Amino acid sequence: MDKHPPLTTGAQAVEYIHSFSWLGSRPGLSRTRQLLAAMGNPEQQLQFIHIVGTNGKGSTAAMLASVLTAAGYTTGLYTSPYIHHFEERMTVNGAEITGDELAAITSWVGGLADQMEEHPTEFELVTCVALEFFHRRGCDIVVLEAGMGGRLDSTNVIPAPQAVVITNIGLDHTAQLGNTVEAIAAEKAAVIKDGCPVILYEQKESVTQVVREVCQAHGASLTIARAQDVVLNRESPEGQWWSWKGQSLFVPLLGDNQRHNGAVVLSTLEAISAKYPVSPQALAQGLERVRWPGRFEVLSRNPWFVVDGGHNPQCAATVADNLKRYFPGKAPVLLMGVLEDKDRAGLCELVAPLAQAFVTITPPSPRALDAESLARELAAYGTPAYAAASIPQGVERAMELAGEDGLVCALGSLYSVGEIRTYILSKEEDKR
């Protein structure tokens, strides 16, 4: 491939990165390793917490990064996908990579990638750019979220991390990872390296056993994070108040799943405490400051408007539980948009019994199921379903149906969350 022209803006860097698809590429870590070697192996100069799993990776990563930042460590955070703009995917101490940094690093990394016989994929490029960014910023520790799976995910090129975190495992990406939770667990657990501590979200025994066997093979200690150790004292649509080992903590994230994720976070911080001690004050401050948009996030009141990017049955079960938990007695209007290749039947069956009505939208993705088709499918549940021509029209229709004292919940795809959040938050700003 000819060398790309110099990239001078963040937008040009994003356009360059997005021009490379993973479709048709041979799975494996060789391209990432080759590119990192050409870059001087920045990953070898960094320390990591490596996070894999199906659900809860992002929330867990956000809590860990917020606490470590509050404790005074220069903390990198790598997540995917993004809600509003690409730069959200890589931050240091909560601040996103700048457009200038993204352009400069991508231009350099891209120049090396373009010389390779087999060009890296989009995610491989992003991962290498992020690792260089964290290296240049002198990060003390990087919270690194895997993209998909683990064994063949490009984040798996890192040396043995300070800890491996495995969050809740469910059925997603089954074509690539396997069609049982045990097979998927084996793919995720393949990131475990010799001697590193492993912290596992408490889940079914067959999954735990898969992870346990991999840990034994690598001489890695296994800690199962027990949610019962994190006591819920009080909760409201503002957040949750927990007790943990005698300390009171507030977290502005909603849902019992976040208490389970919190147990993982607290267990991980204990596992790395010899090298990265965190004071009680930093722990409380970091959890209180954590923000993770689009995960059962309350955006407005009158009516209540909640948005959640969950797109699989496991996420739908959590949303259903949270709606009953935080808004008892309110039948929601569900604003839904889904991707055609996701298990929408499994998702819809869990939330449909709660709904007073559906409003459907088309997520901004080439894989989206169009709103009209989704409305026809949802009508089979015996609940009114209305298709909207755009996301703003869908938001307005859902709020109108809910009424001022009602409840709207948007769910089905993370791809819709950015536009929904922007529209609702701008309406809230106008009210002020």
Q: How far apart are CA 247 and CA 245, in angstroms?
A: 6
What lies within 8 Å, CB to CB, of 363 at 6+ separation is: 337, 338, 339, 412, 413, 415, 416
Q: How far apart are CA 63 and CA 165, in angstroms?
A: 13
Q: Decide: helix, strand or coil at residue 230.
A: coil
CB 323 within 8 A of CB 332: yes
Q: What is the pTM of this model?
A: 0.92
- Tokens representing 125 are 């490029």
- Tokens representing 141 are 């520790």
Q: Decide: helix, strand or coil at residue 95.
A: strand
Cα 228 from chain centroid (whole Å): 24
Q: Decide: helix, strand or coil at residue 155.
A: helix
Judged on CB neighbours under 10 Å (0-12, 13-18, 19+), 303 is: buried
Q: How far apart are CA 358 and CA 337, in angstroms?
A: 10
Q: Walk along the chain (432 residues) and give the pLDDT tens digit of each residue.
A: 456 668 899 999 999 999 887 555 678 899 999 999 999 999 999 999 999 998 899 999 999 999 999 999 999 999 988 899 999 999 999 999 999 999 999 999 999 999 999 999 999 999 999 999 999 999 999 999 998 778 899 999 999 999 999 999 976 544 455 468 888 899 999 999 999 999 999 998 999 999 999 999 999 999 999 999 999 999 999 999 999 999 999 999 999 999 999 999 999 999 999 999 999 999 999 999 999 999 999 999 999 999 998 777 878 888 999 999 999 999 999 999 999 887 788 888 888 899 999 999 999 988 899 999 999 999 999 999 999 999 999 999 999 999 999 999 999 888 999 999 999 998 877 776
Amino acid code (one letter) for 143 = V
What lies within 8 Å, CB to CB, of 117 at 6+ separation is: none
